[in-house]
Structure 1
Amino acid sequence: MVIKIGYEKGRVSLKLERLITIIMMLINKRRITSRELAEFFEVSVRTIQRDIDAINMAGIPIVAYKGYEGGYEILEGYKIDNNFVTEKEYDLLLKLLKGVENVYDDPTIKNMSEKFKAVKANDNVRIDKSIVMDFSHWGNSSRIKKKVAIVKEAIDDKVTIVFNYIDLNGKVSSREVEPYTLILKVNTWYLYAFCRLRNDFRLFKLTRLDKLEKTKTYFEAVDIEEHKLMTDKVDNYIDLKLRFHPSCMNRIDDYFEVEEMNFQEDGYILINTSYPEDEWVYSMLLSFGDKVEILEPNHIKDIIVKRVQNILKLYS
Protein backbone atom coordinates (compact mmCIF):
# COMPACT_ATOMS: atom_id res chain seq x y z
CA MET A 1 0.00 0.00 0.00
CA VAL A 2 2.79 2.39 0.85
CA ILE A 3 5.60 3.03 -1.64
CA LYS A 4 8.74 4.44 -0.05
CA ILE A 5 10.67 6.54 -2.55
CA GLY A 6 13.14 9.39 -2.27
CA TYR A 7 12.99 12.59 -4.25
CA GLU A 8 15.01 11.43 -7.27
CA LYS A 9 13.30 8.07 -7.43
CA GLY A 10 9.99 9.87 -7.16
CA ARG A 11 10.73 11.86 -10.32
CA VAL A 12 11.58 8.64 -12.19
CA SER A 13 8.34 7.07 -10.95
CA LEU A 14 6.27 10.03 -12.17
CA LYS A 15 7.90 9.90 -15.60
CA LEU A 16 7.28 6.15 -15.87
CA GLU A 17 3.66 6.68 -14.91
CA ARG A 18 3.36 9.36 -17.61
CA LEU A 19 4.92 7.09 -20.26
CA ILE A 20 2.54 4.24 -19.45
CA THR A 21 -0.45 6.59 -19.60
CA ILE A 22 0.69 7.98 -22.98
CA ILE A 23 0.87 4.43 -24.34
CA MET A 24 -2.66 3.67 -23.10
CA MET A 25 -4.01 6.88 -24.58
CA LEU A 26 -2.43 6.10 -27.94
CA ILE A 27 -3.87 2.58 -27.85
CA ASN A 28 -7.39 3.86 -27.20
CA LYS A 29 -7.48 7.24 -29.00
CA ARG A 30 -5.38 6.17 -31.97
CA ARG A 31 -3.98 9.64 -32.79
CA ILE A 32 -3.25 12.51 -30.39
CA THR A 33 -1.18 15.70 -30.66
CA SER A 34 1.81 16.66 -28.56
CA ARG A 35 -0.04 19.79 -27.40
CA GLU A 36 -3.00 17.71 -26.16
CA LEU A 37 -0.62 15.48 -24.23
CA ALA A 38 1.29 18.45 -22.84
CA GLU A 39 -1.92 20.08 -21.58
CA PHE A 40 -3.15 16.82 -20.08
CA PHE A 41 0.07 16.17 -18.14
CA GLU A 42 0.81 19.86 -17.49
CA VAL A 43 4.30 19.64 -18.97
CA SER A 44 5.99 21.25 -21.97
CA VAL A 45 5.64 20.07 -25.56
CA ARG A 46 9.39 19.40 -25.52
CA THR A 47 8.95 17.05 -22.55
CA ILE A 48 6.27 15.13 -24.47
CA GLN A 49 8.59 14.85 -27.47
CA ARG A 50 11.28 13.36 -25.23
CA ASP A 51 8.70 10.95 -23.82
CA ILE A 52 7.74 9.83 -27.33
CA ASP A 53 11.42 9.23 -28.10
CA ALA A 54 11.73 7.16 -24.93
CA ILE A 55 8.70 5.04 -25.90
CA ASN A 56 10.21 4.47 -29.34
CA MET A 57 13.51 3.42 -27.77
CA ALA A 58 11.59 0.97 -25.55
CA GLY A 59 10.45 -0.84 -28.71
CA ILE A 60 6.94 0.56 -29.23
CA PRO A 61 6.94 2.30 -32.66
CA ILE A 62 5.28 5.73 -32.53
CA VAL A 63 4.66 7.51 -35.83
CA ALA A 64 4.37 11.32 -36.09
CA TYR A 65 1.99 12.82 -38.68
CA LYS A 66 2.13 16.50 -39.69
CA GLY A 67 -0.66 18.79 -40.79
CA TYR A 68 -4.16 19.70 -39.62
CA GLU A 69 -5.05 16.15 -38.58
CA GLY A 70 -1.52 15.32 -37.49
CA GLY A 71 -0.32 13.86 -34.24
CA TYR A 72 1.19 10.73 -32.79
CA GLU A 73 -0.09 7.19 -33.10
CA ILE A 74 1.25 3.67 -32.72
CA LEU A 75 2.45 2.14 -36.00
CA GLU A 76 -0.44 0.35 -37.70
CA GLY A 77 -0.10 -3.41 -37.50
CA TYR A 78 1.98 -3.34 -34.32
CA LYS A 79 0.98 -6.23 -32.05
CA ILE A 80 -0.42 -4.06 -29.22
CA ASP A 81 -4.09 -3.45 -29.87
CA ASN A 82 -7.19 -2.24 -28.09
CA ASN A 83 -7.38 -5.49 -26.15
CA PHE A 84 -4.13 -4.62 -24.35
CA VAL A 85 -6.42 -3.56 -21.50
CA THR A 86 -10.03 -4.69 -21.91
CA GLU A 87 -13.13 -2.73 -20.96
CA LYS A 88 -13.69 -4.99 -17.94
CA GLU A 89 -10.10 -4.51 -16.81
CA TYR A 90 -10.42 -0.72 -17.06
CA ASP A 91 -13.66 -0.85 -15.11
CA LEU A 92 -12.16 -3.05 -12.38
CA LEU A 93 -9.06 -0.86 -12.06
CA LEU A 94 -11.22 2.25 -11.70
CA LYS A 95 -13.33 0.58 -9.00
CA LEU A 96 -10.23 -0.50 -7.09
CA LEU A 97 -8.69 2.97 -7.34
CA LYS A 98 -11.92 4.61 -6.19
CA GLY A 99 -12.24 2.19 -3.27
CA VAL A 100 -8.68 2.87 -2.12
CA GLU A 101 -9.16 6.62 -2.62
CA ASN A 102 -11.91 6.55 0.04
CA VAL A 103 -9.42 5.47 2.72
CA TYR A 104 -6.06 6.65 1.38
CA ASP A 105 -6.03 10.39 0.71
CA ASP A 106 -3.02 10.45 -1.59
CA PRO A 107 -2.71 12.61 -4.73
CA THR A 108 -1.04 9.78 -6.66
CA ILE A 109 -4.15 7.61 -6.30
CA LYS A 110 -6.39 10.48 -7.39
CA ASN A 111 -4.18 11.25 -10.39
CA MET A 112 -4.14 7.61 -11.48
CA SER A 113 -7.93 7.45 -11.22
CA GLU A 114 -8.36 10.62 -13.29
CA LYS A 115 -5.95 9.35 -15.94
CA PHE A 116 -7.79 6.05 -16.32
CA LYS A 117 -11.05 7.99 -16.66
CA ALA A 118 -9.49 10.28 -19.26
CA VAL A 119 -8.30 7.37 -21.36
CA LYS A 120 -11.90 6.26 -21.84
CA ALA A 121 -13.52 9.69 -21.72
CA ASN A 122 -14.25 9.82 -25.44
CA ASP A 123 -15.48 6.25 -25.68
CA ASN A 124 -19.13 5.32 -25.37
CA VAL A 125 -18.57 2.89 -22.50
CA ARG A 126 -21.34 1.67 -20.24
CA ILE A 127 -20.23 1.84 -16.62
CA ASP A 128 -20.77 -1.44 -14.77
CA LYS A 129 -22.61 -0.63 -11.53
CA SER A 130 -23.04 -4.25 -10.42
CA ILE A 131 -20.04 -3.97 -8.08
CA VAL A 132 -19.02 -1.06 -5.86
CA MET A 133 -15.78 -1.25 -3.86
CA ASP A 134 -15.43 0.90 -0.77
CA PHE A 135 -12.77 0.06 1.80
CA SER A 136 -13.74 2.83 4.21
CA HIS A 137 -15.61 2.54 7.50
CA TRP A 138 -19.20 3.67 7.81
CA GLY A 139 -19.36 7.25 9.05
CA ASN A 140 -16.69 9.93 9.24
CA SER A 141 -13.25 8.70 8.17
CA SER A 142 -11.41 12.04 8.33
CA ARG A 143 -9.58 11.19 11.57
CA ILE A 144 -8.19 7.91 10.27
CA LYS A 145 -7.17 9.62 7.00
CA LYS A 146 -5.22 12.18 9.04
CA LYS A 147 -3.43 9.40 10.93
CA VAL A 148 -2.59 7.60 7.68
CA ALA A 149 -1.15 10.83 6.26
CA ILE A 150 1.06 11.44 9.31
CA VAL A 151 2.37 7.86 9.34
CA LYS A 152 2.97 7.85 5.56
CA GLU A 153 4.96 11.08 5.84
CA ALA A 154 7.05 9.60 8.67
CA ILE A 155 7.73 6.45 6.61
CA ASP A 156 8.91 8.53 3.65
CA ASP A 157 11.06 10.78 5.86
CA LYS A 158 12.39 7.81 7.88
CA VAL A 159 11.64 9.47 11.20
CA THR A 160 10.06 7.94 14.30
CA ILE A 161 6.55 8.64 15.52
CA VAL A 162 5.22 8.80 19.09
CA PHE A 163 1.75 8.01 20.36
CA ASN A 164 -0.26 6.57 23.20
CA TYR A 165 -1.41 3.04 22.38
CA ILE A 166 -4.56 1.52 23.83
CA ASP A 167 -4.45 -2.30 23.86
CA LEU A 168 -7.37 -4.73 23.83
CA ASN A 169 -7.67 -4.57 27.61
CA GLY A 170 -7.82 -0.78 27.66
CA LYS A 171 -4.28 -0.37 29.00
CA VAL A 172 -2.52 2.76 27.72
CA SER A 173 1.22 2.86 27.03
CA SER A 174 3.47 5.53 25.49
CA ARG A 175 5.32 4.30 22.39
CA GLU A 176 8.03 5.53 20.07
CA VAL A 177 8.26 3.42 16.92
CA GLU A 178 10.16 3.26 13.65
CA PRO A 179 7.37 3.07 11.03
CA TYR A 180 7.89 0.71 8.08
CA THR A 181 4.63 -0.18 6.36
CA LEU A 182 0.96 0.81 6.35
CA ILE A 183 -1.36 -2.16 5.81
CA LEU A 184 -5.01 -1.93 4.78
CA LYS A 185 -6.73 -5.19 5.73
CA VAL A 186 -10.44 -5.33 4.82
CA ASN A 187 -11.38 -1.80 6.02
CA THR A 188 -8.90 -1.45 8.87
CA TRP A 189 -5.50 0.26 8.80
CA TYR A 190 -2.51 -1.26 10.59
CA LEU A 191 1.05 -0.04 11.06
CA TYR A 192 3.98 -2.44 10.98
CA ALA A 193 6.77 -0.81 12.97
CA PHE A 194 9.76 -1.44 15.19
CA CYS A 195 8.70 -0.62 18.75
CA ARG A 196 11.53 0.84 20.83
CA LEU A 197 9.68 -0.02 24.05
CA ARG A 198 9.34 -3.73 23.19
CA ASN A 199 12.57 -3.83 21.15
CA ASP A 200 10.79 -5.80 18.42
CA PHE A 201 8.54 -5.39 15.40
CA ARG A 202 4.87 -4.97 16.23
CA LEU A 203 1.56 -4.50 14.42
CA PHE A 204 -0.46 -1.49 15.60
CA LYS A 205 -4.10 -0.79 14.81
CA LEU A 206 -4.38 2.87 13.76
CA THR A 207 -7.75 3.39 15.47
CA ARG A 208 -6.01 2.68 18.80
CA LEU A 209 -3.36 5.38 18.33
CA ASP A 210 -3.89 8.54 20.34
CA LYS A 211 -1.87 11.80 20.32
CA LEU A 212 0.03 10.68 17.22
CA GLU A 213 2.98 12.90 16.25
CA LYS A 214 6.05 12.83 14.03
CA THR A 215 9.43 13.37 15.66
CA LYS A 216 12.68 14.67 14.20
CA THR A 217 14.51 11.48 15.14
CA TYR A 218 15.83 9.65 12.09
CA PHE A 219 16.25 5.89 11.95
CA GLU A 220 18.08 3.56 9.59
CA ALA A 221 15.62 1.18 7.98
CA VAL A 222 16.38 -2.51 7.60
CA ASP A 223 15.00 -4.91 5.00
CA ILE A 224 11.87 -6.75 6.10
CA GLU A 225 10.26 -9.79 4.54
CA GLU A 226 6.77 -9.15 3.17
CA HIS A 227 5.30 -12.39 4.52
CA LYS A 228 6.05 -11.23 8.08
CA LEU A 229 3.96 -8.08 7.79
CA MET A 230 0.68 -9.73 8.77
CA THR A 231 2.08 -12.73 10.64
CA ASP A 232 -0.41 -13.77 13.26
CA LYS A 233 1.56 -14.04 16.51
CA VAL A 234 -1.51 -14.88 18.59
CA ASP A 235 -1.22 -18.29 20.22
CA ASN A 236 -4.12 -18.20 22.72
CA TYR A 237 -6.85 -19.50 20.41
CA ILE A 238 -9.88 -21.08 22.03
CA ASP A 239 -12.54 -23.36 20.55
CA LEU A 240 -16.00 -21.87 20.99
CA LYS A 241 -19.29 -23.72 20.79
CA LEU A 242 -22.21 -21.29 20.63
CA ARG A 243 -26.01 -21.49 20.28
CA PHE A 244 -27.70 -18.47 18.71
CA HIS A 245 -31.36 -17.45 18.61
CA PRO A 246 -32.83 -17.38 15.05
CA SER A 247 -33.25 -13.59 15.26
CA CYS A 248 -29.43 -13.21 15.28
CA MET A 249 -29.04 -14.36 11.69
CA ASN A 250 -28.80 -10.77 10.45
CA ARG A 251 -25.70 -10.26 12.63
CA ILE A 252 -23.83 -13.51 13.01
CA ASP A 253 -22.64 -13.52 9.40
CA ASP A 254 -20.53 -10.48 10.35
CA TYR A 255 -18.47 -12.74 12.62
CA PHE A 256 -18.79 -16.29 11.27
CA GLU A 257 -18.72 -18.04 7.91
CA VAL A 258 -21.85 -19.85 6.75
CA GLU A 259 -19.83 -23.08 6.71
CA GLU A 260 -19.50 -22.77 10.49
CA MET A 261 -23.26 -22.55 10.97
CA ASN A 262 -25.32 -25.63 11.82
CA PHE A 263 -29.03 -24.83 11.46
CA GLN A 264 -31.24 -26.75 13.88
CA GLU A 265 -34.84 -27.87 13.36
CA ASP A 266 -36.03 -25.45 16.06
CA GLY A 267 -34.45 -22.54 14.15
CA TYR A 268 -31.50 -22.09 16.48
CA ILE A 269 -28.00 -21.92 15.02
CA LEU A 270 -25.04 -23.88 16.41
CA ILE A 271 -21.60 -22.53 15.68
CA ASN A 272 -18.23 -24.15 16.25
CA THR A 273 -15.34 -21.75 15.71
CA SER A 274 -11.94 -20.62 16.99
CA TYR A 275 -10.91 -17.14 18.08
CA PRO A 276 -8.02 -15.66 20.06
CA GLU A 277 -9.22 -15.17 23.62
CA ASP A 278 -9.17 -11.47 24.33
CA GLU A 279 -11.35 -8.52 25.23
CA TRP A 280 -12.86 -8.44 21.74
CA VAL A 281 -14.31 -11.94 22.13
CA TYR A 282 -15.90 -11.09 25.49
CA SER A 283 -17.42 -7.89 24.08
CA MET A 284 -18.70 -9.68 20.98
CA LEU A 285 -20.48 -12.35 23.05
CA LEU A 286 -21.95 -9.79 25.44
CA SER A 287 -23.27 -7.75 22.51
CA PHE A 288 -25.72 -10.57 21.70
CA GLY A 289 -27.27 -10.38 25.17
CA ASP A 290 -29.66 -13.23 25.91
CA LYS A 291 -29.70 -14.32 22.25
CA VAL A 292 -26.56 -16.46 22.56
CA GLU A 293 -25.75 -19.39 24.86
CA ILE A 294 -22.12 -20.35 25.40
CA LEU A 295 -21.97 -24.13 25.40
CA GLU A 296 -18.18 -24.45 25.57
CA PRO A 297 -15.68 -23.73 27.07
CA ASN A 298 -16.76 -23.38 30.69
CA HIS A 299 -14.24 -20.70 31.65
CA ILE A 300 -15.70 -18.36 28.99
CA LYS A 301 -19.15 -18.96 30.50
CA ASP A 302 -17.79 -17.94 33.92
CA ILE A 303 -16.20 -14.76 32.53
CA ILE A 304 -19.43 -13.67 30.81
CA VAL A 305 -21.55 -14.47 33.89
CA LYS A 306 -19.25 -12.41 36.10
CA ARG A 307 -19.44 -9.47 33.71
CA VAL A 308 -23.23 -9.64 33.56
CA GLN A 309 -23.31 -9.65 37.38
CA ASN A 310 -21.09 -6.56 37.44
CA ILE A 311 -23.47 -4.83 35.02
CA LEU A 312 -26.42 -5.65 37.30
CA LYS A 313 -24.55 -4.22 40.31
CA LEU A 314 -23.86 -1.06 38.33
CA TYR A 315 -27.59 -0.41 37.83
CA SER A 316 -28.97 -1.84 41.07
Structure 2
Amino acid sequence: MRLLEILFYLLKSNSKTTVKQLAYIFNVSPKTIQRDLDKLSVLGIPIISYRGVNGGIELDKNYIIAKYVLTESDYKDLILSLYISEHIIESLKKSDLINKFKLVNHNRCTEILDSLEKRLIVDLDDQRTIINNDICKIINNSLDNKTYVKLESEGKVIELFPISYVLKKEGLYLYCYDGEYKLILIDNISNVTNCEKVYEGKIIPYKDNKDKKII
Protein backbone atom coordinates (compact mmCIF):
# COMPACT_ATOMS: atom_id res chain seq x y z
CA MET A 1 0.00 0.00 0.00
CA ARG A 2 2.91 2.37 0.68
CA LEU A 3 3.88 2.23 -3.01
CA LEU A 4 0.45 3.56 -3.97
CA GLU A 5 0.64 6.20 -1.25
CA ILE A 6 4.01 7.39 -2.56
CA LEU A 7 2.69 7.45 -6.14
CA PHE A 8 -0.38 9.48 -5.16
CA TYR A 9 1.78 11.85 -3.11
CA LEU A 10 4.06 12.48 -6.09
CA LEU A 11 1.05 12.97 -8.37
CA LYS A 12 -0.57 15.40 -5.96
CA SER A 13 2.55 17.41 -5.13
CA ASN A 14 3.37 17.98 -8.81
CA SER A 15 6.82 19.25 -7.80
CA LYS A 16 10.23 18.00 -6.73
CA THR A 17 10.69 16.34 -3.36
CA THR A 18 13.53 14.39 -1.73
CA VAL A 19 14.06 10.86 -0.43
CA LYS A 20 14.65 12.35 3.03
CA GLN A 21 11.32 14.20 2.94
CA LEU A 22 9.44 11.08 1.80
CA ALA A 23 11.11 9.05 4.55
CA TYR A 24 9.85 11.59 7.11
CA ILE A 25 6.32 11.65 5.67
CA PHE A 26 5.95 7.86 5.55
CA ASN A 27 7.88 7.22 8.78
CA VAL A 28 10.43 4.80 7.28
CA SER A 29 14.15 4.95 6.56
CA PRO A 30 15.58 6.67 3.45
CA LYS A 31 16.85 3.25 2.29
CA THR A 32 13.29 1.89 2.44
CA ILE A 33 12.01 4.86 0.39
CA GLN A 34 14.76 4.33 -2.18
CA ARG A 35 13.76 0.66 -2.50
CA ASP A 36 10.12 1.74 -2.95
CA LEU A 37 11.10 4.22 -5.67
CA ASP A 38 13.14 1.51 -7.41
CA LYS A 39 10.08 -0.77 -7.33
CA LEU A 40 7.90 1.97 -8.84
CA SER A 41 10.48 2.50 -11.60
CA VAL A 42 10.50 -1.24 -12.38
CA LEU A 43 6.70 -1.06 -12.67
CA GLY A 44 7.11 1.62 -15.34
CA ILE A 45 6.40 4.73 -13.26
CA PRO A 46 8.57 7.52 -14.76
CA ILE A 47 10.40 8.87 -11.70
CA ILE A 48 13.02 11.51 -12.59
CA SER A 49 16.03 12.05 -10.29
CA TYR A 50 18.04 15.28 -10.18
CA ARG A 51 21.51 15.50 -8.66
CA GLY A 52 23.22 18.45 -7.01
CA VAL A 53 22.28 21.13 -4.48
CA ASN A 54 18.88 21.71 -6.07
CA GLY A 55 18.31 18.03 -6.78
CA GLY A 56 15.43 15.81 -5.84
CA ILE A 57 12.90 13.49 -7.42
CA GLU A 58 9.61 14.00 -9.23
CA LEU A 59 7.25 12.27 -11.62
CA ASP A 60 7.44 13.01 -15.32
CA LYS A 61 4.90 15.83 -15.66
CA ASN A 62 3.37 14.10 -18.70
CA TYR A 63 2.56 10.97 -16.67
CA ILE A 64 -1.04 10.05 -15.86
CA ILE A 65 -2.53 6.83 -14.48
CA ALA A 66 -4.26 4.95 -17.28
CA LYS A 67 -7.95 4.69 -16.48
CA TYR A 68 -8.63 1.48 -18.33
CA VAL A 69 -5.64 -0.70 -17.46
CA LEU A 70 -7.80 -2.76 -15.09
CA THR A 71 -10.71 -4.89 -16.22
CA GLU A 72 -14.12 -4.27 -14.66
CA SER A 73 -13.66 -7.36 -12.47
CA ASP A 74 -10.16 -6.23 -11.44
CA TYR A 75 -11.45 -2.79 -10.55
CA LYS A 76 -14.33 -4.13 -8.45
CA ASP A 77 -12.00 -6.50 -6.58
CA LEU A 78 -9.57 -3.66 -5.90
CA ILE A 79 -12.26 -1.33 -4.52
CA LEU A 80 -13.68 -4.20 -2.42
CA SER A 81 -10.22 -4.84 -0.92
CA LEU A 82 -9.72 -1.17 -0.12
CA TYR A 83 -13.26 -0.84 1.28
CA ILE A 84 -12.69 -3.67 3.75
CA SER A 85 -9.11 -2.64 4.51
CA GLU A 86 -10.10 0.93 5.39
CA HIS A 87 -12.32 -0.49 8.15
CA ILE A 88 -9.56 -2.51 9.79
CA ILE A 89 -6.35 -0.56 9.10
CA GLU A 90 -6.22 2.83 10.76
CA SER A 91 -3.77 4.48 8.37
CA LEU A 92 -5.88 3.56 5.34
CA LYS A 93 -8.95 5.00 7.02
CA LYS A 94 -7.08 8.28 7.55
CA SER A 95 -5.48 8.35 4.10
CA ASP A 96 -8.87 7.95 2.39
CA LEU A 97 -7.28 5.99 -0.42
CA ILE A 98 -10.57 5.18 -2.15
CA ASN A 99 -11.28 8.88 -2.64
CA LYS A 100 -7.89 9.19 -4.30
CA PHE A 101 -8.93 6.48 -6.76
CA LYS A 102 -11.97 8.64 -7.53
CA LEU A 103 -9.52 11.17 -8.97
CA VAL A 104 -8.65 8.57 -11.61
CA ASN A 105 -12.23 7.65 -12.52
CA HIS A 106 -14.85 9.23 -10.28
CA ASN A 107 -18.03 7.79 -11.79
CA ARG A 108 -16.76 4.22 -12.04
CA CYS A 109 -15.36 4.17 -8.51
CA THR A 110 -18.44 5.84 -6.97
CA GLU A 111 -20.83 3.41 -8.63
CA ILE A 112 -18.93 0.36 -7.34
CA LEU A 113 -18.55 1.85 -3.85
CA ASP A 114 -22.25 2.75 -3.58
CA SER A 115 -23.19 -0.83 -4.43
CA LEU A 116 -20.70 -2.20 -1.88
CA GLU A 117 -21.96 0.02 0.92
CA LYS A 118 -25.49 -1.30 0.39
CA ARG A 119 -24.51 -4.97 0.20
CA LEU A 120 -21.62 -5.20 2.68
CA ILE A 121 -21.54 -3.45 6.05
CA VAL A 122 -18.34 -3.77 8.08
CA ASP A 123 -19.22 -3.22 11.74
CA LEU A 124 -16.07 -3.59 13.83
CA ASP A 125 -15.06 -2.10 17.16
CA ASP A 126 -12.91 0.97 16.45
CA GLN A 127 -10.35 -0.43 18.88
CA ARG A 128 -9.88 -3.50 16.64
CA THR A 129 -8.06 -1.70 13.86
CA ILE A 130 -4.87 -3.56 13.03
CA ILE A 131 -1.32 -2.99 11.79
CA ASN A 132 -1.21 0.71 12.72
CA ASN A 133 -1.64 0.87 16.48
CA ASP A 134 1.36 2.09 18.51
CA ILE A 135 2.68 -1.46 19.03
CA CYS A 136 2.54 -2.23 15.31
CA LYS A 137 4.17 1.04 14.29
CA ILE A 138 7.31 0.06 16.21
CA ILE A 139 7.21 -3.48 14.81
CA ASN A 140 6.71 -2.08 11.29
CA ASN A 141 9.92 -0.07 11.68
CA SER A 142 11.82 -3.23 12.62
CA LEU A 143 10.29 -5.13 9.70
CA ASP A 144 11.48 -2.40 7.33
CA ASN A 145 15.00 -2.31 8.79
CA LYS A 146 15.37 -6.05 9.59
CA THR A 147 16.18 -5.36 13.24
CA TYR A 148 15.22 -7.05 16.50
CA VAL A 149 12.61 -5.80 18.95
CA LYS A 150 12.30 -6.28 22.68
CA LEU A 151 8.70 -6.86 23.71
CA GLU A 152 6.68 -7.76 26.76
CA SER A 153 4.00 -10.42 26.38
CA GLU A 154 2.02 -11.93 29.26
CA GLY A 155 4.57 -10.71 31.80
CA LYS A 156 7.65 -12.00 29.93
CA VAL A 157 10.23 -9.79 28.19
CA ILE A 158 11.59 -11.33 24.97
CA GLU A 159 14.12 -10.11 22.40
CA LEU A 160 13.20 -11.46 18.98
CA PHE A 161 13.29 -10.88 15.25
CA PRO A 162 9.87 -10.02 13.74
CA ILE A 163 9.22 -11.68 10.38
CA SER A 164 5.62 -10.97 9.42
CA TYR A 165 2.06 -10.52 10.65
CA VAL A 166 -0.33 -13.46 10.46
CA LEU A 167 -4.07 -12.80 10.55
CA LYS A 168 -5.93 -15.82 11.91
CA LYS A 169 -9.53 -16.24 13.07
CA GLU A 170 -8.37 -15.69 16.67
CA GLY A 171 -6.79 -12.34 15.82
CA LEU A 172 -3.59 -10.76 14.51
CA TYR A 173 -0.32 -12.54 15.37
CA LEU A 174 3.34 -11.66 15.04
CA TYR A 175 5.36 -14.43 13.41
CA CYS A 176 8.87 -14.11 14.84
CA TYR A 177 12.14 -15.87 15.66
CA ASP A 178 14.29 -15.99 18.80
CA GLY A 179 16.07 -19.26 18.23
CA GLU A 180 12.73 -20.91 17.53
CA TYR A 181 9.74 -19.79 15.52
CA LYS A 182 6.79 -18.34 17.42
CA LEU A 183 3.38 -16.81 16.91
CA ILE A 184 2.56 -14.10 19.46
CA LEU A 185 -0.91 -12.58 19.63
CA ILE A 186 -0.58 -8.82 19.12
CA ASP A 187 -3.27 -8.15 21.76
CA ASN A 188 -1.01 -9.88 24.33
CA ILE A 189 1.90 -7.49 23.68
CA SER A 190 1.92 -4.72 26.28
CA ASN A 191 5.18 -2.98 25.39
CA VAL A 192 7.72 -3.03 22.56
CA THR A 193 10.98 -1.20 21.76
CA ASN A 194 13.30 -1.30 18.76
CA CYS A 195 16.81 -2.73 19.05
CA GLU A 196 19.82 -1.76 16.92
CA LYS A 197 20.68 -5.44 16.45
CA VAL A 198 20.28 -6.59 12.83
CA TYR A 199 19.40 -10.16 11.82
CA GLU A 200 21.31 -11.51 8.82
CA GLY A 201 20.53 -15.24 8.94
CA LYS A 202 18.09 -17.29 6.90
CA ILE A 203 14.41 -17.27 7.80
CA ILE A 204 11.67 -19.78 7.06
CA PRO A 205 8.58 -17.90 5.82
CA TYR A 206 5.33 -18.61 7.66
CA LYS A 207 3.76 -20.20 4.59
CA ASP A 208 6.50 -22.86 4.67
CA ASN A 209 6.37 -23.29 8.44
CA LYS A 210 2.72 -23.06 9.46
CA ASP A 211 2.24 -26.81 9.75
CA LYS A 212 5.00 -27.06 12.34
CA LYS A 213 4.36 -26.65 16.06
CA ILE A 214 4.83 -22.97 16.85
CA ILE A 215 4.73 -21.63 20.39
When normalised by structure 1's length, the TM-score is 0.44
Percent identity of the aligned residues?
16
**Structure 2 counterpart of 1:153, one-letter code:** N
Indicate yes or no: 2:146 matched with 1:158: yes
**Structure 2 counterpart of 1:9, one-letter code:** R
> Taking structure 1 as reference, are residues 154 and 194 closer, same or farther at Cα in structure 2, changes over 3 Å only?
same
> Taking structure 1 as reference, are residues 153 and 194 closer, same or farther at Cα in structure 2, changes over 3 Å only?
same
> Taking structure 1 as reference, are residues 153 and 221 closer, same or farther at Cα in structure 2, changes over 3 Å only?
farther
Give the conservation status (yes or no) of the 8 Å contact 2:87–2:129. no
Indicate yes or no: 2:71 matched with 1:85: yes
- Show structure 1 runs of 5+ residues with no match: 21-41, 53-71, 74-80, 167-171, 235-316
1:190 is aligned to 173
Compute the displacement of 1:192 (Å).
Answer: 0.7
Indicate yes or no: 2:193 matched with 1:205: no
Alignment of 1:110-259 (within 5 A): 110=95, 113-123=98-108, 125=111, 127-129=114-116, 130-132=118-120, 134=122, 137-141=124-128, 145-166=133-154, 172-186=155-169, 188-195=171-178, 199-228=179-208, 230-231=210-211, 233=213
Compute the displacement of 1:94 (Å).
Answer: 1.6
What is the number of equivalent residue pairs in this alignment? Answer: 174
Alignment of 1:16-55 (within 5 A): 19=45, 43=58, 47-49=60-62
Indicate yes or no: 2:116 matched with 1:103: no
2:8 is aligned to none
- Show structure 2 runs of 5+ residues with no match: 4-27, 47-56
Q: Distance in 1 between matches of 2:74 and 2:161?
A: 37
2:39 is aligned to 13
SS at match of 1:119: coil
Q: Distance in 1 between matches of 2:78 and 2:95?
A: 13
Q: CA RMSD in A?
A: 4.1
Q: Distance in 1 between matches of 2:43 and 2:107?
A: 21
> Taking structure 1 as reference, are residues 112 and 9 closer, same or farther at Cα in structure 2, changes over 3 Å only?
farther
SS at match of 2:115: coil
**Structure 2 counterpart of 1:146, one-letter code:** D
1:312 is aligned to none
Compute the displacement of 1:18 (Å).
Answer: 7.8
Structure with the bigger RCO (C-alpha within 8 Å, sep 6+) is 2
Alignment of 1:48-87 (within 5 A): 48-49=61-62, 82=68, 84-86=70-72
When normalised by structure 2's length, the TM-score is 0.61
Larger-Rg structure: 1
2:79 is aligned to 94
Compute the displacement of 1:160 (Å).
Answer: 1.0
Q: Distance in 2 between matches of 1:146 and 1:191?
A: 14
Deviations 1:201-247 (A, max 9, x none): 1111100011122122222252423423543627xxxxxxxxxxxxx
